[in-house]
Chain A
Amino acid sequence: MTITAPEEAPPQRPVPATGGVRRWWRSWRVALRVARRDAWRDKWRSLLVVAIILAPVAVLTTIDVYVRTDNLTRSAAWQGMERIGTAANARVVAGFTRPAAQSPDASTYSTLTRDGRLSDWSTDLAVLKVQALLPPEWRTTRIWTDTVTVRSGQSEWGVNVAVGDTRDPLVAGTYAVVEGRLPVTPSEVVLDTELANSLDLPVGSPLVLYSQDQNGNAGQPLGQATIIGIANGPESFTIGAMPGLLPGDAGTAMTTSWLVETPSPLTWSDIRAQNQRGLVLTSRSVLTDPPAFCAIDQACMDDAPLPSGPDAGEAGSINLSMRPDEAAALAAVGMLALLQVALMAGPAFAVSLRRRQRDLALIGANGGTPTDLRRAILSSALVLGLVAAGTAVAVAWLIVRLGGMLAPRFGKSMWPNPVLAPEVVAVALVAVIAAVAAAWVPARIAGRTDVLHALRGRRPSGPLRHWVAGLGAGLVAGGTGLIAIGAVLAEAVSITLGLLTFQVGTILLVPWLVNALARGGRRLPLSLRLATRDAARSRMRTVAAVSAVAAAAIGATATLVGTASNVAGRSHFYAPRAQPGVVLADITYAGEHPERADPERAVAALRAQLAESLPGATIGVARQLGGYAANGNQNTTVVLHLPDCPHPMAEDGMPLTGSSEDCMYSSPNYTLSGVVRADDQWYAAVTGDTRPEMRAALATGEAIVLDPQALQDGTVELATTTLDDNGETASIRTTALPARLAAFNIVGPRVIVGPSTTLPKGWGRDGTVSVAVVPPAGPDGSSAQAAVEAATGALSAGTGGRWTRSGHAYLEAGYQDDLRVVLGLLVAGTLALALFAALSVTALALVDARPDLATMAAVGAPPRSRRTYAAASALVVAGLGCVVGVVAGLVPGWALARLWGVGWQSGGAGVEGHQIPGSDFFTVPWLMLLAIAVGVPLITAAVAWTFTRSRIPLTRRTD
Chain B
Amino acid sequence: MSTPNGVSAMGTGSGVLVLADVTRVHGRGPTAVHALRGVSLTVGAGELVAVMGPSGSGKSTLLNLAGGLDHATAGMVAVEDMDLDALSAAQLAAVRRRHVGYVFQDLNLIPALTAAENVSLPLELDGATACIARRQAREALAEVGLLELVDRFPDDMSGGQQQRVAIARALVGDRRLILADEPTGALDSETGEEVLRLLRARCDAGAAGLLVTHEARHAGWADRVVFLRDGAVVDETAYAVTPQAIATSS
A interface residues (Cβ-Cβ under 8 A, vs B)? 523, 526, 529-530, 533-534, 537, 851-852, 854-863, 865, 954-959
Is B93 a contact partner of A862 (Cβ separation < 8 A)? yes
Tell me if B25 counts as interface (CB < 8 A to partner A): no
What A residues does B59 contact at CB under 8 A? 959
Instruction: Give bound CA distance, A953 to B51, whole Å.
Output: 24
Instruction: Give bound CA distance, A858 to B61, whole Å.
Output: 14
Tell me if B247 counts as interface (CB < 8 A to partner A): no
Closest to B4 in A: A860
- Knowing A534-B112, A955-B64, A958-B64, the reply to whether A856 touches B125 (Cβ < 8 A) is yes
Instruction: Give bound CA distance, A533 to B117, whole Å.
Output: 12
Apart from A537-B111, A959-B57, what are 7 other A-B pairs with CB-CB below 8 Å? A523-B130, A852-B111, A858-B96, A859-B101, A860-B93, A956-B69, A958-B70
> For chain B residues 75-99, which have a beta carbon within 8 Å of chain A?
89-90, 93-98
- Sorted from nearest, which 10 A-B pairs have the closest CB atoms? A860-B97, A860-B96, A533-B112, A858-B102, A859-B122, A852-B110, A954-B69, A860-B93, A862-B93, A851-B107
Min CB gap A851→B, angstroms: 5
Instruction: Give bound CA distance, A861 to B59, whole Å.
Output: 24
Is B35 a contact partner of A959 (Cβ separation < 8 A)? yes
- Knowing A533-B112, A955-B64, A959-B61, the reply to whether A860 touches B107 (Cβ < 8 A) is no
Is A857 a contact partner of B111 (Cβ separation < 8 A)? no
Tell me if B124 counts as interface (CB < 8 A to partner A): yes
Instruction: Give bound CA distance, A537 to B156, whole Å.
Output: 14
Is B108 a contact partner of A855 (Cβ separation < 8 A)? yes
Is B112 a contact partner of A859 (Cβ separation < 8 A)? no
Closest to B107 in A: A851
Most buried by B among A526, A859, A861, A955: A859
Tell me if B226 counts as interface (CB < 8 A to partner A): no
- Knowing A954-B69, A959-B56, the reply to whether A526 touches B64 (Cβ < 8 A) is no
Is A859 a contact partner of B96 (Cβ separation < 8 A)? yes
Tell me if B58 counts as interface (CB < 8 A to partner A): yes
What B residues does A537 contact at CB under 8 A? 111-112
B interface residues (Cβ-Cβ under 8 A, vs A)? 26, 35, 55-61, 64, 67, 69-70, 89-90, 93-98, 100-102, 104, 107-113, 117, 121-122, 124-126, 130, 169, 181
Closest to B55 in A: A959
Most buried by B among A534, A855, A858: A858
Is A530 a contact partner of B60 (Cβ separation < 8 A)? no
What A residues does B95 contact at CB under 8 A? 860
Min CB gap A809→B, angstroms: 67
Instruction: Give bound CA distance, A523 to B35, whole Å.
Output: 44
What A residues does B58 contact at CB under 8 A? 959
Instruction: Give bound CA distance, A94 to B58, whole Å.
Output: 100
Is A861 a contact partner of B125 (Cβ separation < 8 A)? yes
What B residues does A955 contact at CB under 8 A? 64, 69-70
Is B104 a contact partner of A956 (Cβ separation < 8 A)? yes
Is B89 a contact partner of A855 (Cβ separation < 8 A)? no
What A residues does B117 contact at CB under 8 A? 529
What A residues does B109 contact at CB under 8 A? 855
Min CB gap A578→B, angstroms: 65
Is A526 a contact partner of B111 (Cβ separation < 8 A)? no
What A residues does B124 contact at CB under 8 A? 526
Is A958 a contact partner of B60 (Cβ separation < 8 A)? yes
Is B125 a contact partner of A530 (Cβ separation < 8 A)? no
Is A862 a contact partner of B96 (Cβ separation < 8 A)? no
Is B69 a contact partner of A858 (Cβ separation < 8 A)? yes
Instruction: Give bound CA distance, A858 to B122, whole Å.
Output: 9
Is B112 a contact partner of A530 (Cβ separation < 8 A)? yes
Min CB gap A958→B, angstroms: 7
What B residues does A954 contact at CB under 8 A? 64, 69-70
Closest to A523 in B: B130
Min CB gap B213→A, angstroms: 15
| Contacting residue for B110 out of A855, A863, A956, A959, CB 8 A | A855
Of the A-B pairs whose beta carbons lie under 8 Å apart in the complex, a sample of 27, sorted by A's number, is: A526-B121, A529-B113, A530-B112, A533-B112, A533-B113, A852-B112, A855-B107, A856-B110, A856-B121, A856-B125, A858-B104, A859-B97, A859-B169, A860-B94, A860-B95, A860-B96, A860-B98, A860-B126, A862-B94, A865-B125, A954-B64, A955-B64, A955-B69, A956-B60, A956-B107, A957-B60, A959-B56
Instruction: Give bound CA distance, A862 to B181, whole Å.
Output: 22
What A residues does B107 contact at CB under 8 A? 851, 854-855, 956
Min CB gap B105→A, angstroms: 9
Instruction: Give bound CA distance, A862 to B56, whole Å.
Output: 29
What B residues does A861 contact at CB under 8 A? 93, 125
Instruction: Give bound CA distance, A860 to B64, whole Å.
Output: 13
Closest to A864 in B: B90
Instruction: Give bound CA distance, A865 to B26, whole Å.
Output: 26
Min CB gap A519→B, angstroms: 12
Instruction: Give bound CA distance, A534 to B113, whole Å.
Output: 9
Instruction: Give bound CA distance, A523 to B134, whole Å.
Output: 12
What A residues does B89 contact at CB under 8 A? 863
What A residues does B169 contact at CB under 8 A? 859
What A residues does B93 contact at CB under 8 A? 857, 860-863
Is A859 a contact partner of B102 (Cβ separation < 8 A)? yes
Instruction: Give bound CA distance, A355 to B108, whole Å.
Output: 23
Closest to B102 in A: A858
Closest to A530 in B: B112
What A residues does B101 contact at CB under 8 A? 859
Closest to B97 in A: A860
Instruction: Give bound CA distance, A858 to B105, whole Å.
Output: 13
Min CB gap B212→A, angstroms: 10
Is A857 a contact partner of B69 (Cβ separation < 8 A)? yes
Instruction: Give bound CA distance, A442 to B192, whole Å.
Output: 38
Instruction: Give bound CA distance, A852 to B60, whole Å.
Output: 19
What A residues does B113 contact at CB under 8 A? 529-530, 533
What B residues does A854 contact at CB under 8 A? 107
Closest to A858 in B: B102
Instruction: Give bound CA distance, A856 to B117, whole Å.
Output: 12
What A residues does B130 contact at CB under 8 A? 523
Instruction: Give bound CA distance, A958 to B181, whole Å.
Output: 12
Min CB gap A862→B, angstroms: 5
Min CB gap B158→A, angstroms: 15
Min CB gap A354→B, angstroms: 15
Instruction: Give bound CA distance, A959 to B98, whole Å.
Output: 26
What B residues does A956 contact at CB under 8 A? 60, 64, 69, 104, 107, 181
Closest to B26 in A: A958
Instruction: Give bound CA distance, A852 to B109, whole Å.
Output: 8
Instruction: Give bound CA distance, A354 to B55, whole Å.
Output: 31
What B residues does A858 contact at CB under 8 A? 67, 69, 96, 102, 104
Min CB gap A517→B, angstroms: 13
| Contacting residue for B60 out of A534, A851, A959, CB 8 A | A959
Instruction: Give bound CA distance, A23 to B201, whole Å.
Output: 63
Instruction: Give bound CA distance, A858 to B178, whole Å.
Output: 12
What A residues does B110 contact at CB under 8 A? 530, 852, 855-856
Closest to A859 in B: B122
Instruction: Give bound CA distance, A923 to B104, whole Å.
Output: 59
Min CB gap B60→A, angstroms: 5
Closest to B172 in A: A859
Is A862 a contact partner of B90 (Cβ separation < 8 A)? yes
Instruction: Give bound CA distance, A863 to B64, whole Å.
Output: 17
What A residues does B181 contact at CB under 8 A? 956
Instruction: Give bound CA distance, A537 to B95, whole Å.
Output: 31
Min CB gap B32→A, angstroms: 14
Closest to A956 in B: B104
Is A860 a contact partner of B122 (Cβ separation < 8 A)? yes
Min CB gap A524→B, angstroms: 10
Min CB gap A152→B, angstroms: 78
What B residues does A855 contact at CB under 8 A? 104, 107-110
Closest to B64 in A: A955
Instruction: Give bound CA distance, A956 to B102, whole Å.
Output: 11
Instruction: Give bound CA distance, A863 to B67, whole Å.
Output: 15
Closest to A851 in B: B107
Is B69 a contact partner of A860 (Cβ separation < 8 A)? no
Instruction: Give bound CA distance, A804 to B245, whole Å.
Output: 114
Instruction: Give bound CA distance, A854 to B102, whole Å.
Output: 11
Closest to A861 in B: B125
